[in-house]
Amino acid sequence: MKKILLIHTGGTIAMAEDKETGSVNTQNRHPLERELPELAGLADITSENFLNVPSPHVTPEHMLRLSCFIENKLKQDTYDGIVVTHGTDTLEETAFLLDLVLQTTVPVIVTGAMRSSNEHGSDGPYNLISSVKVASSSESAGKGVLVVFNEEIHTAKNVTKTHTSNIATFQSPQYGPIGIVTKRGVFFHHTPVKSAVHTVTRLTKKVLLLKAFAGMDGILIKNAASGMDGIVIEALGQGNLPPATVPALVQLITEGKPVVLVSRCFNGIVQDIYSYDGGGKKLKEAGLIFSNGLNGQKARLKLMVALELTENRHRLQELFDQ
Ligand code: ASP
């Protein structure tokens, strides 16, 4: 029988609904403990409560600590797979940070729930069972950190929360899931390109995420970026910005603060195509770093990690090309 380490961090999967008020909150006793007898038929499970917080309370420091916790547990004992339960709001960020820094090739699965433990149609137990199945599959090894939700297997790099309440919220726009989980087993239909892993022991850099909009100018950028070590900007379309933003961005680059460009479109990648003022070609010439399809929140984490490794703009661009 496979040995699986189950690490809880909180989120709706660990919560219950107050039937009188309808409000959902954290519990002292983890509701998924009830599922353990059924899971015992699937794998030899060891549980750890790492955190018990809603995921909007999770910080990049928690994520990095979680990665150290996982690596240490794997040094102390042998596990065939790891399952992390997490709130869905920042689940994709934790999964991606783990994907960036974890050295292990043991399958690491992140899951959660959209409905709390005592709500009708609660999806936590099924997501947990599916995740244990994926973590136990030898085919899951070496595919990077995976997110298992609603019978689908997604890569940490591409998955994103797309719906506020629907249980099919996790999608990988443009790419789709890489596999499915059925009652009979785990089936992968795509092999992801494995991204580079980075060794970082701390995250000390402040990185701002801004979204571009029609009529945006440099004032917001100048004020918001003060005290920051770098910024990520969700540009328009293929990677273009209102021209009035450009002087503030160029000023940041001159000060040695990298500016990473992603798109506010959730399909496609940014490219240096347009040569009008504020167009991608001009932005590239001005020294902005173009990301390779990451969304804003993931590009922010990547820049935080990358800035621990280098401040050289060309090296940063290489890291974002990977
Ligand atoms: N707000 C909750 C959280 O992220 C949502 C969830 O877990 O589904 O913790």
Q: Hey, which of 12, 17, 51, 93 would you mutate to test ligand 1's pocket, going by the most ligand atoms within 8 Å of its Cβ?
A: 12
How far CA 184 is from CA of 4, 45, 82, 290, 302, in Å, comes to: 19, 20, 21, 42, 37
Those residues with Cβ within 8 angstroms of residue 75's Cβ, 6 or more apart along the chain or in another chain: none
Q: Hey, which of 89, 128, 163 would you mutate to test ligand 1's pocket, going by the most ligand atoms within 8 Å of its Cβ?
A: 89
Query: What would you report as the CA-atom Rg of the chain, rounded to the nearest whole angstrom?
Result: 20
Please, which pLDDT band fits residue 38 given cuts at 50, 70 and 90?
Answer: confident
Is residue 193 one of the residues assigned to a domain?
no
Q: Are residues 292 and 183 in the same domain?
A: no
Q: Are residues 43 and 134 in the same domain?
A: yes
Is residue 196 one of the residues assigned to a domain?
no
Q: Are residues 176 and 229 in the same domain?
A: no
Please, which pLDDT band fits residue 19 given cuts at 50, 70 and 90?
Answer: confident
pLDDT of residue 32: 81
The enclosing domain of 57 has a CATH number of 3.40.50.1170
**What is the whole-number distance in angstroms between the Cα of residue 25 and the centre of ligand 1?**
10
Is residue 194 one of the residues assigned to a domain?
no
Mean pLDDT, rounded, of the chain: 96
Q: Are residues 38 and 179 in the same domain?
A: yes
CB 3 within 8 A of CB 27: no
pLDDT of residue 195: 83
Is residue 127 one of the residues assigned to a domain?
yes
Is residue 200 one of the residues assigned to a domain?
no
Q: Is the pLDDT of residue 31 over 90?
A: no
Q: Are residues 92 and 213 in the same domain?
A: no
Active-site annotation holds for 169: no
Q: Which two tokens stand for residue 310?
A: 């280098």
Q: Is the pLDDT of residue 29 over 80?
A: no
Q: Are residues 13 and 126 in the same domain?
A: yes
Q: Which two tokens stand for residue 205?
A: 């850099």
The enclosing domain of 282 has a CATH number of 3.40.50.40
pLDDT of residue 160: 98
Q: Is 88's C-beta closer than 6 angstroms to any atom of ligand 1? A: yes
Over residues 207-212, mean pLDDT: 98
Over residues 237-263, mean pLDDT: 98
Q: Are residues 45 and 99 in the same domain?
A: yes
Catalytic residue among 9, 46, 59, 88: 88
Distance of CA 216 to the CA centre of its chain: 28
Please, which pLDDT band fits residue 122 given cuts at 50, 70 and 90?
Answer: very high
User: Burial level of 318, CB count in 10 A (0-12/13-18/19+)?
Assistant: middle
Integer Cα distance of 161 and 170 in angstroms:
5
**What is the whole-number distance in angstroms between the Cα of residue 137 and the centre of ligand 1?**
27
pLDDT of residue 174: 94
pLDDT of residue 26: 78
Please, which pLDDT band fits residue 52 given cuts at 50, 70 and 90?
Answer: very high
Over residues 113-125, mean pLDDT: 94
Share of the chain above pLDDT 90, in %: 90
For 241, the domain range is: 207-321
* Final residue belonging to a domain, choices 188, 217, 250: 188
pLDDT of residue 129: 95
Q: Are residues 235 and 167 in the same domain?
A: no
Q: Is the pLDDT of residue 28 over 80?
A: no
pLDDT of residue 25: 85
Active-site annotation holds for 88: yes
Q: Is the pLDDT of residue 231 over 90?
A: yes
Please, which pLDDT band fits residue 37 given cuts at 50, 70 and 90?
Answer: confident
* Final residue belonging to a domain, choices 130, 160, 188: 188
Q: Is the pLDDT of residue 36 over 80?
A: no
CB 120 within 8 A of CB 171: no
CB 305 within 8 A of CB 100: yes
- Domains identified in the chain, total number: 2
pLDDT of residue 194: 79
pLDDT of residue 39: 87
Q: Is the pLDDT of residue 30 over 90?
A: no
Q: Is the pLDDT of residue 103 over 90?
A: yes
Q: Are residues 170 and 279 in the same domain?
A: no
Q: Which two tokens stand for residue 261?
A: 């460009």
Is residue 139 one of the residues assigned to a domain?
yes
Q: Are residues 233 and 293 in the same domain?
A: yes
Q: Are residues 211 and 178 in the same domain?
A: no
Is residue 195 one of the residues assigned to a domain?
no
What pTM does this model have? 0.96
pLDDT of residue 212: 98
Over residues 219-223, mean pLDDT: 96
Q: Is 11's C-beta closer than 6 angstroms to any atom of ligand 1? A: yes
Q: Are residues 7 and 136 in the same domain?
A: yes
